[in-house]
């Protein structure tokens, strides 16, 4: 979880900076954010299977195809400009959480290095690429494209969805969970922060028939008050149960730690609890089903703390 904590610290800094320099152009804001985030993406690549390659370099096994060419399948007019790429709106795509979450993409975007992840889907090798395009003009969330590619012969785009459920979107650490010999689940996170609270939403995604399918979105909230710190850390575990896809056990470790500072009011007592939900594959409905509504209840409790 150290990588996530470091990422949260970076995002807090970006949020504060954005408030201080609200007149900064969108390009400079995204450039500054990308420069801060890039070292974390590289340092995390060794611990997880996601990496942030140079967008202008060829992809493995295809000397005539660059990562920019892959992005261009999603943003057709992508062109190089100095150390980054620019383009207008992406191809039309659905939101991973359903049509009620659809939003408009930015009219223009600046793209630095995408994040890529090699996965298994239906027993086949696939490449997932995440590209954060910035802010949506008609939504509080950003606009982040998760694209799926077949690289076995000529690179081919199989699917693309908007996975942004908050302002900044990235692959989690770890970014995937093996559901068996031939399939992985993907974990994406979207987040934003203010001075004392950090909001995180985590879509868990299955690739089936070369299409992205949402398993669930899990919401967590961190607080750093004068008198206490409360953290909600999310972890995943695969449980073999004889189904086509392994069961997924998700656990939120909810911990409250009093601070020693004199804040003029007594801190809450120290507390720690684990909240778990297991998702199992349902043959009749051909989807994952949660065994309880514990995460929904926690989310409702968290909303009262906003």
- Which residues, at least 6 apart from 149, have a Cβ–Cβ distance to it below 8 Å? 70, 73, 126, 127, 128, 129, 155, 156, 157, 158
Residue 180 in this model has a pLDDT that exceeds 60: yes
Task: Report H helices in 46-131.
Answer: 67-72
Q: Summarize pLDDT for 26-62 with one digit per residue, the tens.
A: 444 444 444 434 333 333 333 347 999 999 999 999 9
CB 107 within 8 A of CB 137: yes
Q: Summarize pLDDT for 121-160 with one digit per residue, the tens.
A: 999 999 999 999 998 888 888 999 999 999 999 999 999 9
Return the structure tokens found at 180: 């068996």
Query: What is residue 210's predicted lDDT score, i.e. its pLDDT?
Result: 98
Q: Is 111 helix (H, G, I), strand (E, B) or coil?
A: strand
């Amino acid at each position: 979880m150290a990588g996530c904590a470091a990422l949260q610290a970076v995002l807090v800094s970006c949020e504060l900076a954005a408030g201080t320099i609200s007149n900064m152009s969108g390009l400079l804001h995204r450039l500054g954010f990308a420069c801060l985030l890039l070292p974390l993406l590289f340092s995390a690549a060794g611990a997880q299977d996601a990496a942030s390659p140079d967008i202008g370099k060829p992809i493995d096994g295809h000397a005539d195809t660059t990562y920019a060419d892959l992005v261009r399948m999603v943003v057709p007019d992508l062109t190089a400009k100095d150390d980054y790429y620019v383009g207008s709106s992406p191809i039309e795509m659905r939101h991973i959480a359903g049509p009620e979450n659809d939003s408009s993409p930015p009219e223009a975007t600046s793209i630095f290095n995408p994040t890529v992840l090699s996965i298994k889907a239906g027993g086949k090798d696939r490449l997932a690429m995440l590209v954060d395009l910035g802010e949506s003009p008609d939504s509080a969330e950003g606009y982040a494209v998760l694209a799926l590619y077949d690289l076995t012969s000529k690179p081919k785009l199989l699917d693309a969805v908007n996975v942004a459920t908050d302002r900044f979107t990235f692959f989690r650490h770890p970014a995937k969970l093996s559901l068996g010999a031939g399939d992985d689940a993907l974990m994406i996170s979207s987040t934003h922060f203010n001075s004392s609270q950090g909001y995180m939403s985590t879509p868990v995604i299955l690739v089936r028939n070369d299409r992205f399918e949402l398993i669930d979105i899990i919401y967590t909230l961190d607080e750093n008050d004068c008198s206490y710190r409360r953290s909600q850390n999310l972890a995943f575990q695969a449980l073999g149960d004889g189904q086509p896809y392994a069961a997924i056990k998700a656990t939120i470790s909810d911990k409250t730690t009093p601070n020693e500072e004199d804040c003029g009011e007594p801190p809450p007592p120290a507390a720690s609890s684990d909240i778990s939900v297991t998702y199992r594959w349902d043959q009749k409905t051909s989807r994952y089903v949660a065994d309880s509504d514990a995460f929904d209840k926690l989310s409702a409790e968290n909303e009262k703390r906003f």
